[in-house]
Structure 1
């Protein structure tokens, strides 16, 4: 009985259960996770919770444009956060803008993770000329700022979700490739990989069953950071007019639409979308920092 009482609190728990038990010890990270979940829910159910469809141009009235928070518009409902220059209900536009930002951030992050991981592990596993070719391309890309590369690619590809996601993937996959390469290079030298190769197992089996699972912790950490960076990059491109079309405003475009009116007292057009964007990015980064700390054995208490 004494031995049972002295066991560590997280011993003999499933890895996911142990991870969550450690995660919830950080109340700030738990709060950030709740905020992320709430904002994702608002984005997913935007058509159900929004008083207006801001993308339906037929329902917009210029008579309602640039109205302050609390204004009762021609549609008969109260615009809690006011309206933008096109007469959109700002609260509805923020919900739909969150939808776009989260969709693009997650899609770009997942695709960049897949491409970068495949390239990094391939380079580490096979070595030689393949390693040199892949890693020199990755190093060359990392020498350019992500925002500059994304600007050039969006300008060349044009507007649209697919083009924007493609530009963000091209600007960010190198971070995953470098992380995957470092982790796989370390795993490649270990005895269990050499034993698997001596069996012999096919290279595909060794990579997917042995090397890849052990490379995932650092990649998950990078993924959380890069999703936040994708959302930030998308907002920057939209603010500069290189994001999605004006008929589908994201948070960055909403901020841009209100920027000319900041000095005239119509602060709400830019401020409220900006607050929503900041909350989303900060919440994701806090969750990512906590995940990084838990996957880093040097930071464990």
Structure 2
């Protein structure tokens, strides 16, 4: 789009300059408090293409509508290119005239951690700094670290990743952000964590779910495919499970669908949704079970954050 009537184009740097992680968390909470129903959100369309997968994610709410066209290209890493690509077209909800065109990868890098942080704000204790274990060392791992610091204090951060240099770089970034202790580690260290965050491209479980401590919170965001998962059946079976929306999770969340196919859990195993958490009442005191928040990513989240970016004055 070009010409005098073209909507403003916001590149990745501008998207991230305009909206802080804390503001993105609040944008999501606000639309849920205002009554948005994630269960009514249109399903994601996924089209296999030679490079990977093309995703189409439309949504409408209130005075706004929008659509994200995203690409997932696993081979891009070897080319030095981002794995996630795409654009977001924000539309005026009354006229459907274009209002802004945003970098889709930056929007995803902002909204996915914000969704996780919103869940953590309601599920994790706030009476002490938390010991974090994060799986992954890519953009989502960086985004999650910053978003989590917007809602909770961290006592330590342990990074578990295949690439040791990238893991060390993320640990150094955590120290620069003010985390008192940060280092690389191993999957076995989930047994000492208050909070475990999984943001990887793994298709099989990253750790033994029996090692997760009672009352700990696990967040899994890395996959939206029925045959891929980052957490194992042992964790899912013993955990209180929260999701963005039941319909989306039961379509796409391999972390839940695989244990269900195994007969380990039933379709009623989900404890609650993000909207339940935001609208309250707050969850009961810890039952001794871990709490798992499984996110697949939904179009309403992109819309909420894109609107907040559009409304924010340039920094």
Same structural fold, with TM-score higher than 0.5 when normalized by the shorter chain = no
Higher helix share goes to which structure? 1
Higher strand share goes to which structure? 2
TM-score, normalising length: structure 2: 0.23
